[in-house]
Amino acid sequence: MKRVVFSVFGAVAVFAGVTPSAAGDRYADRPPVMVSPDLSAPWVLQLGNAPGIVRQNRQQQRLRTAQPAQPDRVQTAAVQAPAKRMVMRPQINPIYLPQEVAYDGTQKPGTIVIDTTQNFLYLVEKNGKARRYGVGTGKPGFEWSGTHKITNKREWPDWRPPAQMIKREAAKGRYLPTYLAGGIENPLGARALYLGTTEYRIHGTNQPWTIGGAVSSGCIRMRNEDVVDLYERVNVGTTVEVI
C-alpha cells in the first residue's frame, strides 16, 4: 500500500514540474500549470479547473478578486451610457460679420445708428465710412425707435429681468430668475451698453445664431466678440439712434 501511494504522488510531482523547495518559497509566484485535455483522471480534475484551462497563481487570483481591472469598468460604463445627442446650431450669415462700409448718413462720426429693419448697427466714422455689425432686434410687438445716450457700460453684466418680462414669460410656462450673475450663461453676454433711462441695452448674447433676426424683447443683441469690440470704441454719452 505504501508503494502505491508513493507512486501516485511521484507521478503528480513529475507532471506538475514540482521540485523540492524551502519553506519560504511555498507561496512564491510560479508559472501557470497547463492541464492537457487528454488527461481526465480524477486526480487531475481535483486541481480545480476543467482540463485545458490555464490556472492562475494565488497572487493573481487575490488581485483580481479584490480589484477588477480598471479598463473593464470603463468599458462597461461606456456601453451602458447613452450616446450624447449632438445639437447642430445654424451658422451666422457672413453678411452680419463686422466690416467697413460706405455710409452716407447725416450723423456725426462717433454716433451709433441701429437699423432695425435690416438688423445692422453702424458706428459712424469719418470720410463717409462706418463700421457695420450684425445685430438681433425686437421681435414682432417689441419694435421701437428713438434716440438715446449711452448712460452706463458694464463688463459681464448681471441680469435682472423686468417684472413685466417675468410675468409675460411665466404665462408661457417659462419661469425666469429674478437675478442672474454675469457670466457665460447670462443672456446679456460679455458687455452691455445701457440706453438712457430705458430698460433697453445693446448687449452680447450666448445665442450668436440669432444675430440677423427679430428675436429679442427690444434689446439689441450682438455677438460677444462684436459687442466687446464696440464697447472699446465708444464712451458713456455716445448718441444712439434706433430707426
Quick check: helix, strand or coil at residue 120? strand
CA distances to 16, 47, 50, 52, 241 from 40, rounded to whole Å, are 15, 11, 9, 11, 97
Query: Cβ distance 196 to 148 under 8 Å?
Result: yes
Give Cα separations from 18 to 11, 29, 59, 89 (angstroms): 10, 13, 18, 70
For the purposes of burial, counting CB atoms within 10 Å of the CB of 184, is it exposed (0-12), middle (13-18) or buried (19 or more)?
exposed
Cell 411665466 belongs to which residue? 170
Distance CA 164, CA 79 (A): 48
> One of 193, 215, 219, 230 is an active-site residue; which one?
219
Catalytic residue (choose from 203, 204, 212, 215): 203
Instruction: Using only the alpha carbons of the chain, give its radius of gyration.
Output: 39
**Rounded Cα gap, residues 222 and 98, in angstroms:** 10
59, HSE (Cβ side, Cα atoms, 13 Å): 7
Cell numbers for 217 = 424683447
User: How many degrees, rounded to 5, is the angle at CA 13 between CA 8 and CA 16?
Assistant: 120
Does the active-site annotation cover 219?
yes
Active site residues: 203, 219
